[in-house]
Every structure is written in structure tokens, then in C-alpha cells.
């Protein structure tokens, strides 16, 4: 067979091809890889994975000599708020004065400010802006993402956001898990009756399902937003409607959203900075992935980070994400998140790589398409300007991408998306 592209002399080729669909506890320290590896594909499908010596007999239209570089699967970002209008730099002074995130929200800013801008934006404007950010996410080595709605808080705008995600996945030929986050904040006019608002959002489930606009339903379970009981009732309706579920859990105040996520078999529980010790223990015997977002802790200037070490040491499964959003984590740089995971979460480099590939894919139920390099899989591959895998969490703040291949096509080079 004549391949389209063959990469040779990859000093470390991280295949991440574990025997299991995700890794937990001690297993998070193992890193399936090939030394002096080679990988090739045809029509966007991986056709060869082996050593450079074995690759000598393989024929390919194009051979790229990686010259001792690191090569990995495209990274998976399992938590983003990709589609939104406007931005929130006007809140910098408030933030610097120490006004807490939830206080800004209470005063009608924060998420409400983005909701206003998102409602005012046309489909085309939202699409162009989301595509701009998506290209930047790709330029950092990400080839699969999860994207949430949640800046409409009414039917028309929520559906508009989900339609943008659907169009982007199709036009960009990218694996995107779509999440309906209508339960992201309580609109001011529903302050006194959040249950009525949640009922309105739940009424959209069927339509979203019928139009295949989302696979997941998520809720912001937080003090001053949605309570534990409200979250439980809402997500149980979501499950009845056939959705998988996720929770923004214990981000700021310990409410027990993490325990709830595990009890109801959520695909992931996200944030967990304020998760209880009991919740941390529960991950050890649960398939719910702990999605940690250290960029948010950093950007909210918090002292304490999520207890990644305890979750892993208790046998849990951890993934990492950017939480790209205009308020608490305005960055597309997942490599910086990997650095924070090393410095602040005290994760090992092996744990970090598992957390941005196979565990991240499991958190968004894309484990059969994303997060590992294997014959028969999509060729979502990254060549890094790095001699080894430890180098990415180590050398911080810059973009190490040499080349990103999305479905076999070269889409980013030297840390920049290649625009037609």
C-alpha cells in the first residue's frame, strides 16, 4: 500500500495505546510509546505504527524526517465554552480589587455580560468568532474538543450556539462533543424562581435530541447558581431524555456536586477545587472522570488547586482541560495547563500526558476516536518542537507545536494555524 504521509525518526512516539479505555490511579504513570518510532497514514486513516527501522519497507508519497522530535496523538480538550459573544476585559479592575467571581455574577456581570453579547450576535458572527478560537486551540496541538452552550439562557440563543458547534465540527472535519449548558446561570428575571427557569431549559431537551445538537447536558452546581437538589432533578430529566451528563461541581463552594456526579454516573465531574474528602475517595471506584481545570484556579487567583494527587492516589481517573471561556479562563493554551498541572497539581509528566489524551477522550465519550495512535484510527497527530515528553510541561508559556495533522491533513505549523 502507498501511504500519503509517513513520519520517521520520532525519538519518542507516544501512542497512548493502553489496553483499557482510560487509565486510573497507578496506571496513569504508564505511557505507551515507541522509541525511534514511525507512523504513517492514507486517506486520513492511520495505516502503520512501528519503529523507523520497520518503516524502511513502507512506501509513502511523502516522508517527513522528524529528526528526533516528540510525536503524540492530537490532544483532547474535554471542557471548553467555545461559542460566545464579546469578552470581559472590562471586568479587570473589579477582579484586581478582589471582587470575587460569584459577586461579579450576582451584580449582573460575569456570565450575564457574556449572555447579553451572545444574544446580540448573529449566527455568522458567533460562528466566525468560535472558529477563530477553535483554530487557535488547534494551533496548540488540540484536535478534539468538548464545547458547551450556556450563554443564551433562552431557547433561540442556546440553539444558535449548539448549531454553531455542529457546523464547525462538520466544516473543520473535527471531533467535537457538544454539551447543552442552558443551566449555566439564573437569568435576572428568574432570580426568585430558578426552578421555573430549569423547567424551561428541560423543555428543550427533546428538540436538542431530535436535531442531534448535543450529546451531553451540564449544569453549574454552585452557591448562588443551582443547588444540589435542583441539579439532581434537572440531570435526572436529562438522563431520561437520553443524554449523558456532566456537572460543574464544587468549583468555589463545597456543595457536594462531585458526589452527585459520581452517584448518577456522570461522564465527568469538572473543577472540584472544593470537593470533599469523601468525593475524592469515591473516584477510586468510579468511572466518572475527574476533569481538572487549573487554568481557572490560576486566573481566579485562588490559593488552593484541585486535589489531583489525592484523586489519583485513591485510584481515580484524571483529565485536564483549558476551560477556555471569556471569564474565568480566557486561554486556548493547553500546554500552559500542562505546566500548571506539573507545578500546582503535582502531577507527574506521564500522568499529565494521559490526562490530555485518553482520559480526556473518555471524559467526553470519544475514546473510540480520539486520544491514541493506532492503526485504523483517524490520523490526528502532533509533531512537537521538543526532544521528549517531559519537555512540554517543563518549558512554559510558549507554543511547542511543530505541525498538527487533523484527519491526516497539515493544519497548523510552527504554532500557527495555516489559513487558506
Summarize as ranges the residues that interact with ligand IZC (CB under 6 A).
81, 110-111, 114, 220, 248, 325-328
33: β partners: 14
Q: Which three cell numbers stand for residue 70?
A: 516528540
The interaxial angle of helices 155-171 and 111-120, nearest 10 deg, is: 70
CA distance 194 to 186: 6
Residue position matching grid coordinates 483554530: 135
Q: Smaller CB distance to ligand IZC: residue 144 or 296? A: 296
Q: Which three cell numbers stand for residue 93?
A: 479592575
CB of 88 to ligand IZC, least distance (A): 8
CB of 21 to ligand IZC, least distance (A): 28
Cα 305 to chain centroid, rounded: 18
Q: Smaller CB distance to ligand IZC: residue 118 or 354? A: 118
CB of 345 to ligand IZC, least distance (A): 18
> Beta-carbon neighbour count of residue 367 at 10 Å?
18
Q: Smaller CB distance to ligand IZC: residue 48 or 220? A: 220
| Residue nearest ligand IZC (C-beta atom) | 327
Residue position matching grid coordinates 489496553: 19
CB of 248 to ligand IZC, least distance (A): 5
Cβ–Cβ under 8 Å, residues 329 and 293: yes
Backbone angles phi, psi at 324, to 5 degrees: -45, 115
Q: Smaller CB distance to ligand IZC: residue 15 or 231? A: 231
CB of 289 to ligand IZC, least distance (A): 18
CA distance 244 to 297: 26
CB of 181 to ligand IZC, least distance (A): 8
CB of 112 to ligand IZC, least distance (A): 9
Q: Which residues, other chains included, contact 353 with Cβ-Cβ below 8 Å and sequence gap of 6+?
A: 14, 16, 31, 72, 389
Q: Smaller CB distance to ligand IZC: residue 37 or 326? A: 326
Give the angle subtended at the CA of 115 by the CAs of 293 and 364, to the nearest 5°: 35
Q: Smaller CB distance to ligand IZC: residue 8 or 291? A: 291
Cα 291 to chain centroid, rounded: 8
Q: Smaller CB distance to ligand IZC: residue 81 or 160? A: 81
C-alpha distances in Å from residue 166, one per residue of 91, 212, 239, 250, 340: 31, 9, 21, 29, 31
CB of 362 to ligand IZC, least distance (A): 22
Q: Smaller CB distance to ligand IZC: residue 45 or 228? A: 228
Q: Smaller CB distance to ligand IZC: residue 99 or 348? A: 99
Q: Which three cell numbers stand for residue 211?
A: 436535531
> Beta-carbon neighbour count of residue 153 at 10 Å?
25
CB of 233 to ligand IZC, least distance (A): 20
- Kindly report the length of the chain: 420
Amino acid at each position: 500500500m502507498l501511504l500519503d504521509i509517513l513520519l520517521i525518526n520520532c525519538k519518542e512516539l507516544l501512542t497512548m495505546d493502553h489496553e483499557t479505555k482510560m487509565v486510573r490511579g497507578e496506571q496513569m504513570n504508564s505511557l505507551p510509546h515507541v522509541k525511534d518510532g514511525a507512523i504513517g497514514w492514507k486517506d486520513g486513516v492511520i495505516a502503520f505504527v512501528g519503529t523507523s527501522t520497520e518503516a524502511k519497507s513502507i512506501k509513502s508519497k511523502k516522508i517527513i524526517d522528524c529528526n528526533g522530535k516528540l510525536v503524540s496523538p492530537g490532544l483532547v480538550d474535554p471542557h471548553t465554552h467555545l461559542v460566545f459573544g464579546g469578552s470581559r476585559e472590562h471586568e479587570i479592575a473589579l477582579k484586581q480589587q478582589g471582587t470575587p467571581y460569584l459577586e461579579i455574577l450576582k451584580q449582573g456581570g460575569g456570565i450575564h455580560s457574556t449572555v447579553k453579547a451572545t444574544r446580540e450576535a448573529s449566527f455568522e458572527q458567533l460562528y466566525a468568532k468560535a472558529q477563530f478560537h477553535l483554530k487557535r486551540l488547534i494551533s496548540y496541538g488540540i484536535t478534539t474538543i468538548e464545547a458547551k452552550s450556556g450563554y443564551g439562557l433562552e431557547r433561540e440563543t442556546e440553539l444558535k450556539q449548539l448549531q454553531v458547534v455542529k457546523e464547525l465540527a462538520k466544516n473543520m472535519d473535527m471531533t467535537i462533543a457538544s454539551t447543552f449548558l442552558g443551566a449555566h446561570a439564573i437569568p435576572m428575571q428568574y432570580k426568585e424562581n430558578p426552578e421555573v427557569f430549569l423547567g424551561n431549559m428541560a423543555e428543550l431537551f427533546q428538540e436538542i435530541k431530535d436535531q442531534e445538537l448535543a450529546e451531553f447536558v451540564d449544569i453549574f452546581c454552585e452557591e448562588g447558581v443551582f443547588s444540589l437538589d435542583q441539579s439532581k432533578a434537572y440531570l435526572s430529566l436529562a438522563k431520561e431524555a437520553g443524554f449523558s451528563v456532566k456537572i460543574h461541581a464544587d468549583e468555589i463552594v463545597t456543595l457536594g456536586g462531585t458526589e452527585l456526579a459520581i452517584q448518577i454516573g456522570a461522564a465527568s465531574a469538572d473543577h472540584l477545587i472544593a470537593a470533599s474528602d469523601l468525593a475524592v475517595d469515591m473516584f477510586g471506584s468510579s468511572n466518572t472522570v475527574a476533569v481538572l481545570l487549573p487554568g481557572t484556579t490560576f486566573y481566579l487567583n485562588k490559593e488552593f488547586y484541585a486535589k489531583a494527587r489525592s484523586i489519583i492516589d485513591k485510584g481515580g481517573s484524571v483529565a485536564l482541560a483549558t476551560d477556555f471561556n471569556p471569564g474565568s479562563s480566557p486561554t486556548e493554551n493547553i500546554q500552559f495547563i500542562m505546566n500548571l498541572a506539573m507545578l500546582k497539581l503535582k502531577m507527574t509528566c506521564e500522568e499529565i500526558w494521559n490526562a490530555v489524551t485518553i482520559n480526556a477522550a473518555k471524559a467526553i465519550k470519544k475514546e473510540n476516536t480520539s486520544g491514541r495512535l493506532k492503526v485504523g484510527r483517524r490520523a490526528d497527530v502532533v509533531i512537537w518542537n521538543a526532544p521528549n515528553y517531559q519537555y512540554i510541561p517543563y518549558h512554559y508559556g510558549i507554543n511547542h507545536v511543530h505541525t498538527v495533522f487533523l484527519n491526516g491533513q497539515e493544519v497548523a505549523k510552527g504554532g500557527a494555524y495555516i489559513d487558506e
